[in-house]
Structure 1
């Protein structure tokens, strides 16, 4: 296991959702979702050869592609978001927090620091799962794909979460399991920690710029609490 990261005092911890806080992806019928997405994109005029692999990442790729005129792209992404949200929504009843997450969030809340979620999943689905697990009130910001024009690896979601929490990007740290998480954090101007067990290898996370690779969010919370206290917690 990597040593816990050395971090300056931070006022907010931001987290990816799937494979970082919860096991949503283990319960989604991704194959069916991808087939429906591909059919939708082709119907809307996106060339199949431009689509590539992945499912959630496919949404981000189309959003950033410039393959469609602005108005057509927005309508296409709204339709794609509905498809993804439907499949993710099916997994709400069976999705659970990952081991150690509940305890880490309790510790973080007791420190007076802010917590937020920035996810490429549906905000409505993320919130429903967090409410079902009775931890939604521990997050001052929950940002999903509906809330941004460009999903990760663009920094828009992270910057929006910081704005809602009343902190500067340099006063936050982000944790996620995917290279896109690390790239988004770097673009937003904050350090990022990779979380093992998700879509990206440890090597890929390091190459993307992760300051540490961790086995969950508990070591990150511990590292933040060891750092100097923030000057002000709103």
Structure 2
């Protein structure tokens, strides 16, 4: 794809709400965008900035759909009968790649309470991992206050050959941690995270802080559906 890293920049394209029973695990793996990092607004902005010089508009709905499904932001914005369509899409994708580091710095941030959530889980003896299709720049948001140091393994888009919903990233992270899929759970904000978790054989907790809404997430029956990462210490235990 023209913009290596997060697939959405490329040109290719039971409700579980009850909290009564704790999930016993050895490892918790996290998505980044929309889960630990408040970046949906940054993606909306980079899509606008990248497409606008060519006279095209990418709506917020398109961005959220792409983030939820692993598709491309640019799908369908250039008429199919344009002979220069492929070149335009390549240029838009290159624009996004060039502008992304700046826009992420200006519009992206950690959600409140991330450090406290991670420390609570670590205090239970739980291993922590990151599995995300995000570009490496996003890790800069985790460096202050030693947030990144809390993680025992990190797998990003550059580290895998297949992106979510393929389970490669989750399984690779678990291999680094020496944890079996049955002993882990994945935390994400989109239906694609549920699909990847099921394919990997791990349990999945969906959060309502990113691309997916309650209806779209509940439809695919995550093991738990929670408002944000801050609820995790109350529903997870170690063994």
TM range (shorter): 0.7 to 0.9
Deviations 1:75-114 (A, max 9, x none): xxxx999765544322135532212222111111122211
Indicate which of 35, 40, 44 corresponds to 2:51: 35
Indicate which of 198, 208, 213 corresponds to 1:186: 198
More helix, by proportion: 1
Deviations 1:129-183 (A, max 9, x none): 1113530100111211111111111111111111111111111101111000111
Unpaired segments ≥5 residues, structure 1: 39-52, 63-78
Maintained 8 Å contact 1:116/1:161: yes
Indicate which of 215, 218, 221 corresponds to 1:203: 215
* TM-fit CA distance, 1:222: 2.0
| Distance in 2 between residues matched to 1:185 and 1:221, nearest whole Å | 20
Residue equivalent to 1:113 = 126
The Cα RMSD (Å) is 3.2
Question: Normalized against structure 1, the TM-score is what?
Answer: 0.72
Change (3 A) 1:217 1:102: same
Change (3 A) 1:94 1:57: closer
More strand, by proportion: 2
Maintained 8 Å contact 2:50/2:95: no
Query: How many equivalent residue pairs?
Result: 198
Give SS of 2:33's match.
coil
Maintained 8 Å contact 2:50/2:93: no
Change (3 A) 1:59 1:176: closer
* TM-fit CA distance, 1:207: 1.7
Residue equivalent to 2:175 = 163
Change (3 A) 1:222 1:178: same
Change (3 A) 1:58 1:193: closer
Question: Normalized against structure 2, the TM-score is what?
Answer: 0.71
Change (3 A) 1:126 1:80: farther
Unpaired segments ≥5 residues, structure 2: 1-15, 55-61, 73-90
| Distance in 2 between residues matched to 1:58 and 1:4, nearest whole Å | 24
Change (3 A) 1:94 1:6: same
| Distance in 2 between residues matched to 1:175 and 1:5, nearest whole Å | 18
